Amino acid sequence: MKIKELIEQLKKYDPEMLVVVNGYEGGWDDINIIKEKILIEEENNPWYEGKYSYFEEKEDNPDNAINAISLCAE
């Protein structure tokens, strides 16, 4: 999802509504940090791993780098 798509989705909700992320082992946490990441899309990751992984300058093609943000509790 791109930032503009996220903004459009969030416009449907009350701007005073709380936004949370999954807690470490359960429950929910506030978003306290927004981190910028450089990622690559993984085509053959196992089902239990995420679709993206960290971009490694020494190993990955720079043409495949994806700028992203991550919403984190801490």
Write the pLDDT tens digit of every residue in 47-56: 899 999 999 9
DSSP class of residue 68?
E
Whether 50 contacts 66, CB under 8 Å: no
* pTM across the whole model: 0.75
Annotated domain spans of the chain: 32-74
Given pLDDT bands bounded at 50, 70 and 90, which one contains residue 20? very high
Spatial distance between the Cα atoms of 19 and 52, rounded to a whole number of angstroms? 23
Render 10-45 in DSSP notation, one character per residue. HTTS-TTS--EEE-SSSSEEE--EEEEEEEEE-SS-
